[in-house]
């Protein structure tokens, strides 16, 4: 919900800034190189994200109150789902071209609609179910060339493993989103953000027992920078919702495919394929329609509440 400081342009600029910073985070992870276990990447991403988050909360005077929680198990579940999604996503990111990883990741909000209907008993009508189905067709178009059994290695190819990892990340991320939607009913945003980084750091640290890679100074610096970017991006994203409605800001998430393609070309010499662009266009269209429907339903609910409020 926007605050009294409503400023849509400022909110949009903050959203675009957060997208840029998150893409910088992903680029740092890809530049760090293959062969680093996803649990190790997730640890650095989570641990170093705490630094800007703590500074931000301290500057706002919310640090002490952010540690207070009435639902520690809820934060643990959110952290477990989130860190598993993060690990799968990072694993797929290293194996796939950046535009492909971004486009397949767009499946998360579509899956979240399904989860909201199944687990939260939210009402999802035909229009949104249709948008979800169309969006998943787009995800299939992007993924199929990498998953096809007609290639030499089939499902065992690097691209297929990467695509499946990102898809699994989208499923787990949608589950984490459901947990967040339950937490926000009783917990402050600052508390949710802080505890996720703390829980994710602790859980990902356990992956050390399964073996971590010996990092070069360059790789260590890139992963630490990725963590800092991750925390800073979360702050920018949180701040964007202080100045504008979700329905105003959310569509700009899809600008990441354009900026991500540019970064991929400059840094990694990666060019999105025709199937990636076609599938991404379908997924983006479905996502934008769902955002539009959510906005319309929100207007209808507010109008119904005003109509039911007794006039003094």
What is the maximum span of the chain, computed from C-alpha positions, in angstroms? 74
**What whole-number distance in Å separates Cα of residue 220 and Cα of residue 226?**
10
Instruction: Give the distance, in angstroms, between the CA of residue 56 and the centroid of all CA atoms in the same chain.
Output: 20
Q: Residue 262 region, left (φ>0) first, then alpha (ψ -120 to 50), else beta?
A: alpha
Asked whether residue 262 is domain-assigned, the answer is yes
What pTM was estimated for this model as a whole? 0.82
Predicted pLDDT at 79: 92
Closest CA to 115 of 167, 166, 179: 179
Residues contacting residue 245 through CB under 8 Å, at least 6 positions apart: 1, 2, 8, 295
Which residue range is the domain that position 58 belongs to?
8-305
Predicted pLDDT at 108: 86
Q: Are 178 and 112 in contact (CB under 8 A)?
A: yes
Asked whether residue 93 is domain-assigned, the answer is yes
Q: Are 24 and 17 in contact (CB under 8 A)?
A: no
Q: Are 239 and 14 in contact (CB under 8 A)?
A: yes
Closest CA to 230 of 87, 47, 93, 89: 47
Task: Tell me the C-alpha to C-alpha distance, in Å, between residue 108 and each of 89, 120, 123, 267, 304.
Answer: 11, 16, 19, 26, 30
Predicted pLDDT at 155: 54
**What whole-number distance in Å separates Cα of residue 238 and Cα of residue 4?**
15
pLDDT in tens, the chain (312 residues): 444 457 778 888 998 999 999 999 999 999 997 789 999 999 999 999 999 999 999 998 888 899 999 999 999 999 999 999 999 999 999 989 999 998 888 888 888 888 888 887 877 778 878 888 898 898 888 887 776 644 555 555 788 888 899 999 999 988 988 888 888 888 888 898 899 999 999 999 999 999 999 999 999 999 999 999 999 998 888 788 778 766 677 678 888 888 889 999 998 898 888 888 898 899 888 888 877 777 676 667 667 777 666 655
The total number of structural domains that make up the chain: 1
Helix (H) / strand (E) containing 104: helix 98-105
Asked whether residue 235 is domain-assigned, the answer is yes
Instruction: Give the distance, in angstroms, between the CA of residue 267 and the centroid of all CA atoms in the same chain.
Output: 22
**What whole-number distance in Å separates Cα of residue 272 and Cα of residue 265?**
9
Q: Are 280 and 257 in contact (CB under 8 A)?
A: yes
Asked whether residue 284 is domain-assigned, the answer is yes
Asked whether residue 1 is domain-assigned, the answer is no
Asked whether residue 3 is domain-assigned, the answer is no
Asked whether residue 290 is domain-assigned, the answer is yes
Asked whether residue 311 is domain-assigned, the answer is no
Predicted pLDDT at 3: 46
Angle at CA 232, nearest 5°, toward 199 and 26? Answer: 85
């Amino acid at each position: 919900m926007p605050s009294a400081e409503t400023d849509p342009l400022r909110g949009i600029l903050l959203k675009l800034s957060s997208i840029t910073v998150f893409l910088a985070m992903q680029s740092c992870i890809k530049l760090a190189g293959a062969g680093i276990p996803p649990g190790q990447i997730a640890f650095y991403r989570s641990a170093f994200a705490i630094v800007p988050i703590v500074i931000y909360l301290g500057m706002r005077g919310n640090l002490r109150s952010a540690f207070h929680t009435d639902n520690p198990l809820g934060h643990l579940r959110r952290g477990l789902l989130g860190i598993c999604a993060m690990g799968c996503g990072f694993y797929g990111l290293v194996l796939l071209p950046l535009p492909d990883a971004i486009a397949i990741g767009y499946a998360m909000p579509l899956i979240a609609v399904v989860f909201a209907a199944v687990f939260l008993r939210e009402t999802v009508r035909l229009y949104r179910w249709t948008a979800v189905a169309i969006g998943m067709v787009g995800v299939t178009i992007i993924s199929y060339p990498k998953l096809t059994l007609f290639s030499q290695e089939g499902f065992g190819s690097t691209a297929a493993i990467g695509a499946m990892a990102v898809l699994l990340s989208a499923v787990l991320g949608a589950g984490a989103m459901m947990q967040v939607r339950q937490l926000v009913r009783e917990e402050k945003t600052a508390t949710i953000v802080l505890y996720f980084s703390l829980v994710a750091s602790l859980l990902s640290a356990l992956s050390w027992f399964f073996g971590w890679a010996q990092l070069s100074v360059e790789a260590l610096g890139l992963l630490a920078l990725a963590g800092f970017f991750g925390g800073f991006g979360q702050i920018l994203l949180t701040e964007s919702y202080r100045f504008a409605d979700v329905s105003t800001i959310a569509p700009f998430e899809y600008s990441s495919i354009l900026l991500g393609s540019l970064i991929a070309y400059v840094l990694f010499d990666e060019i999105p394929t025709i199937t990636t662009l076609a599938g991404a266009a379908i997924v983006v269209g479905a996502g934008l329609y769902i955002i539009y429907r959510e906005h319309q339903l929100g207007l209808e609910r507010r109008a119904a509440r005003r109509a039911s409020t007794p006039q003094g």
